[in-house]
Amino acid sequence: MRLIPKKFLKIHTAAFLLSAVLLMWAPVIRAQQSNRPLRELKGFVLQAKNKQPLLGANIINLTRLRGATTGKAGFFMIRALPGDTILVSYLGFKTFKWVPDTLSFTRIHRIYLQEQPIVLQEVVIREHALTGVLPVDLALMPKKDLPRIQLHLETMFGDTIPNALTRINDKLRTYMDPVGLLYNFFSVHGKDIRKLRHLKERDEITRILARRFDRKILSELLDLPEDQVYQVLEWCEYDKKFLREASDLQLLEALRNCYEKHRPFMEIKHGAGKQ
C-alpha cells in the first residue's frame, strides 16, 4: 500500500478548509452587498444637437427595477449602487445605457442623446379599390400566376424521402405544440420572466411603461428582443392588432398572464421530462 506524503495531505486539507470557510461566508457577503444603502445618482439629459434639455426622459435602473423622469431642466435623480445598469430613454432618440462606478455618485452628469428618426410603416396605395363582390371588382383584380414549388427532399435533407418526411413531421409537431414552445422559451428565460411580479410593484416603472409604445424599455427590462416578445404573445393567442396598439404596460401584463396561464402545463411537462 502506497502512503500519501504528509506535505500533500496538509496542502489538500488547507484547501478544503478554505473552500468550506468561503462557502459559509458567501451568503453573509451577498446579504451585506444587497443591504447596502442606495445612493443618489444625479444628472441632466440633453439633446446632443442643440444642448437643449429633454423634459420627460425616462431613467431606469435595470438592476434595482427603479425609475425616474426628468423635469423641466432635464434634471434627474435616481437611487442606485455602483455596478448597476442605468438606461436613459426618450422617444425619438437613441437609448443610452450606462454602468456607474463609485466616483459617479460624487458628480452631476450631463447625458446627451442622439436623435433617431422614427420609421413609419409602409403605406401602399393601390390603383383600384374593391367595393364589394361584384363582377366589376373581379374584372379589376390583377391576375397572377402562382409559382410552382418543387421540393427536392433528398437535396434538402441529404436523406431518403421516408426519413425526410419523418423529420418534417417532427418539425410540424413542434410548431403545433404551443405548450412545448412556451416551455422551451420560459425554461431559458425564466429568470427574466420572474421580474414581472416585481415590476408590477414599482409605481414609477408602471407609470413609465403605461406611456411607452416603442418596446425599448420593455425589451431592456426583460432582456428580450422585441420580436421575441411578440412571438411569445402570438403563441398565447394574442392578436396582432393588440400587439401593435397596446402600451408596454399592457404587453407586460399579457406576458405575465401568459406565463401564469401555462405554468401548470409546463410543470407537468417538466415533470414528465424527468421520468
Q: Are 168 and 175 in contact (CB under 8 A)?
A: no
Number of domains, the chain: 2
Q: Please determine, for residue 133, whether its predicted confidence score (pLDDT) is greater than 70.
A: no
Within-domain flag for 241: yes
Residues 88 and 168 in one domain: no
Residue 80 has which C-alpha cell? 442606485
**What CATH number is given to the structural domain containing 50?**
2.60.40.1120
Within-domain flag for 123: no
Within-domain flag for 121: no
Q: How many CB atoms lie within 10 A of CB 151?
A: 10
Mean per-residue pLDDT, 83-93:
95
- By three-state DSSP, how is residue 17 classified? helix
Residues 73 and 161 in one domain: no
Q: Are 83 and 44 in contact (CB under 8 A)?
A: no
Residues 157 and 270 in one domain: yes
99-103, 133-137, 197-201 — which is least confidently predicted? 133-137
Model confidence at 225, in pLDDT bands (50, 70, 90)? confident
Within-domain flag for 8: no
In angstroms, the CA 71 to CA 224 distance is 29
Determine the structural domain holding residue 211 and report its residue range.
Answer: 153-274
